[in-house]
Structure 1
């Protein structure tokens, strides 16, 4: 009896000390949680503030230059009220050609990485390495590469050279998204098709790609959004053109090059066109991103 009372008296202070230690630990965790949560709120607010500031400055300075002449007139000499029609058309042509060239190549490479990964491990590793390298490579290096293999041998800048440079930036984005989307297709769908006697190419084309089509289309839109504002590759390939030119074998204007050339100008009307061009590019990329979000939402459903 006495031994049990002694044990209870000895255990009581220990349990009280343990309770105090647990309370102190909980208090420290609550403080750390509040600090981390507050830090997240502050950083989120800073990011939103920066984004809002950029949009505000673009709208304030760019809207003044939006007019019918912006879309119907080419760039003229300072003080003559020109527009950005040649730059808009050049951007549409070059980005369109880039997607037409780069998207099929990226799609085929993504299909190979996702569907034929068990055939040749060395080739698979090489394809993935090159894709990751292109995804992380500075765009100016891509422009220099196309400059050396296309512009220098041909002796002149051209819109097709700019499109090829942009296409090299499209490929890795499409490769990565295509591979990821195809890997999300359930294996049971492939096995069911194989059990019915379907050949591999039919399974890939009519089962896997059909199931992943929204995600693949989203990847192509992401690639389009990436190359829409690229300037460095075009400086070494298409160069720019103040006249109306839709010939792929001639120097071609583009909105990023126009912004680069006019932003540092001493002429107010050219500076205004630079702000207007920046607003047009931002609006286009924003619309593409909205379409991507809608596509991702449909894909999740």
Structure 2
């Protein structure tokens, strides 16, 4: 089944480009025709490129990749926020901060500072501060939320960028190209598709068109995450089954102390038995000299009796 139909694209106005005088000649291969001074995008190529982008995003999410959504124009910003949150990805919906990618360590430190301030506020620490200082910190939170609030989920450099209107977001494109981060983007007839790894020819001004295309990218990411969870669950079941299999490799049990293997009553009996045996042995050892003396006396008596009998016989 097709990811999207031509009818859906037409209804969303995806096929409308810019006026012919504003076009970028590098977009020629994606243009179908001209009508009333406006370029019409070839929707067959839109469907093809959208499918490629969908597969790429799905596979990336399945491998636990991160996609940074970027769209700061008035029509795109609220859609970017909504769809990025739906698929749990970071986003930039306000002005792109220079160094967001190339100076990521500094940007991340500002995000961490924002999170720290929010936690302090939620714990009620601001209530213990002077009003002027608390007000200043609240204003700082609002400022950071506007500038870096969408980057909370970005713990490291993203594995890909998804951009709406590459002409407007040219700084994001340059930073991603510098770091060899792949870019998937909606490119209108006034954009340069060359710096984009996966360009999707589309109207990037109409709200319905933006919502349709951005929504498909979010769907791809959600599907990829679900596939990863399913695969992990299956692997867990296989590992559990392998552990219970009778043909599994036998490993000798670890040696355990006797007091863990034998019960307390058994140990008590053994100790009692060992104690009585030792006492009997000691008693035997102490009685040995007495037995030797008794034996010597009996031997001497027997010798005396034999001597007396011998004398009597001689007489």
Structure with higher Rg: it is 2
User: How does the TM-score come out when normalised to structure 1?
Assistant: 0.27
Query: Which structure has greater strand proportion?
Result: 2
User: How does the TM-score come out when normalised to structure 2?
Assistant: 0.27
